[in-house]
Amino acid sequence: MSVVADHLSWGVKRKAIVKDVSLRVTDGETLGLIGPNGSGKSSLLRLLAGLKRPDQGRVTIHGKDIAAIQRRALAQSVAFVQQNAATETSVSVRDVVRLGRTPHRSALSGWRAADQAAVDGALARVGMTHLQDQSWLTLSGGERQRVHIARALAQSPTVLFLDEPTNHLDIHHQIEILQTVRQLNVTSIVALHDLNLAAMFCDRIVVLKDGALVASGTPETVLTEDLIANVFRVAAAVSPSPHHGRPQIHFHTGV
Ligand SMILES: Nc1ncnc2c1ncn2[C@@H]1O[C@H](COP(=O)(O)OP(=O)(O)OP(=O)(O)O)[C@@H](O)[C@H]1O
């Protein structure tokens, strides 16, 4: 088991934001995290990745309690692609991606062939090799997002957390990034808003509503018309795609 969360709760002042969430993610699985705005997806991802401490419950990654793993050791196996992550300084695309190697390097070790191979591979994976000399500040929103994903891939993680990785991307790159994530030999937990993309690319889906886990399972079992009406408040028809067999959702509220 790659990631196990037991009874995680977290809140701010008197507001409970993540409520008693338990889940298990197996090695190599792509788990989708869906739910309405404010349902707690980002908060849960940050708890799972060890970026926030839960008020109750615990998370283990590869069998180790993350509260007991040192930051650097955690960063050698866990990478996090944040929503709207910013890189302020005027550095090149290549330099941003090189930062992904930081947890694997010591003060004494120079830049090694393995570091270069990881950076080159990550740039190629997201289709950014041709822009590697460009200043990060001059990139479009979608290009920046792809560079942040490349930085996470350069980290060579065994567990990858992605918070809305497709929100600035055109449809070609949305599909390409999710295909890449799925094909990596890495356990991935990805918060997504697009239910059709979640259905196409996730092995399993977890649904959050008001901070609580309300459903989990395969896309076929989770993405029902009733769940979409109850959790997302839209009317939809769900049927298997004739092209790939996964559920496809046709929204008809208000049309
Ligand atoms: N540090 C904080 N202090 C106060 N409230 C917070 C804090 N972090 C999150 N929240 C609140 O917790 C709720 C869940 O936020 P979170 O960002 O986890 O939701 P989300 O499902 O990722 O939302 P979205 O789909 O809009 O990105 C929101 O109501 C948010 O305002």
Written as one letter, the residue type at 71 is: R
Spans in the chain with pLDDT lower than 50 = none
171-to-128, 159, 168, 226 alpha-carbon distances in Å: 17, 25, 10, 27
Domain parsing of the chain, residue ranges: 3-84+158-251
* Ligand 1 atom closest to 163 (CA): 22
The pLDDT assigned to 254 comes to 65
What ipTM does this complex have? 0.97
Cβ of 42 below 6 Å from ligand 1: yes
Fold of 3-84+158-251: Rossmann fold (3.40.50)
Helix axes 141-154, 113-125, angle to 10 degrees: 140
The pLDDT assigned to 130 comes to 96
Other Cβ atoms less than 10 A from the Cβ of 12: the count is 9
* Whole-prediction pTM: 0.93
- From the list 49, 130, 35, the residue with the least C-alpha distance to 92 is 130
Asked whether 236 and 228 are in contact (CB, 8 A), the reply is: yes
Cβ of 39 below 6 Å from ligand 1: yes
The pLDDT assigned to 7 comes to 98
3-class state of residue 50 by DSSP: coil
The pLDDT assigned to 255 comes to 62
